[in-house]
């Protein structure tokens, strides 16, 4: 494959014209987007679906997204991973109590829908890769 060797001045001119994106730019963008993330992958070596399946087998019932969030964002000793995670878990618990009080009279409401609504309210709109 034919590659062109460019001098630093040529790279600078091409970059200024917007014709070339340098590796440093991609690295900078990746670093910035990584810093914006609220949570890292917190399920250790397991995927989120494996954690959910293992919890379902151990408790013999399907767990909701709120419980899965709580399981994944805790250390092995039971403490939250970060202060932000602890604050979010508190908000999720408060919203769940609020929704349970509202829907206690209405039996037609699905609990999975309540969990989804609570997570959307606390964490924001749905994004790819969120548990």
Does the pLDDT value for residue 5 go beyond 90?
Answer: no
**pLDDT tens-digit profile of 16-48?**
666 555 566 778 888 888 788 766 666 767 777
pTM summary value: 0.61
Which residues lie closer than 8 Å to 75 by C-beta, 6 or more apart? 81
Determine if residue 66 is left, alpha or beta; phi over 0 gives left, psi from -120 to 50 gives alpha, anything else beta.
Answer: alpha
* Structure tokens, 61: 């019932």
Q: What is the DSSP letter of 83?
A: H
Residue 1 pLDDT: 41
Q: Where are the beta strands (DSSP E) in the chain?
A: none
Q: Domain spans of the chain? A: 48-123
């Amino acid at each position: 494959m034919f590659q062109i060797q460019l001098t630093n001045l040529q790279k600078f001119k091409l970059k200024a014209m917007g014709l070339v994106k340098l590796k440093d730019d991609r690295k900078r963008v990746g670093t910035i987007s990584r810093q914006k993330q609220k949570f890292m992958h917190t399920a250790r070596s397991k995927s989120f679906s494996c954690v959910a399946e293992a919890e379902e087998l151990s408790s013999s019932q399907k767990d909701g997204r709120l419980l899965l969030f709580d399981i994944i964002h805790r250390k092995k000793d039971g403490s939250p991973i970060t202060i932000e995670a602890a604050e979010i878990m508190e908000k999720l618990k408060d919203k769940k109590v609020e929704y349970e009080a509202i829907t206690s009279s209405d039996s037609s409401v699905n609990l999975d829908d309540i969990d989804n609504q609570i997570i959307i309210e606390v964490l924001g709109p749905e994004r790819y890769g969120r548990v």
